[in-house]
Amino acid sequence: MLKTQKTAPNHIVDYYYKLKKQPYSKRDKVAVIACMNKLLKVTHYLVNKNELYDYAKSPHS
């Protein structure tokens, strides 16, 4: 996701950079694991609701 962020923006990458930019920056592995957790939750929601991912609809937090 980080490599393709320019062609396909998503809120998981935004979350990663938010974690890295905080006053006490998270280490790379900690930030990646947090992003994987968020990805699993988003995927679970999309599968259950039978929806496609849309960056415009996603919460940008």
Of 2-11, 37-46, 49-58, which one has max mean pLDDT? 37-46
What pLDDT was estimated at residue 8?
76
State residue 44's pLDDT score.
94
Amino acid at 42: V
pTM of the model: 0.74
Residue type, 57: K
**Is the pLDDT at 61 greater than 60, yes or no?**
no
| Burial (CB count within 10 angstroms: exposed 0-12, middle 13-18, buried 19+), residue 5 | middle
Cα separation, 35 vs 10, in Å, equals 11
Q: What is the DSSP string of 22-60?
A: SSSPPPHHHHHHHHHHHHHHHHHHHHHHT----TTTS--
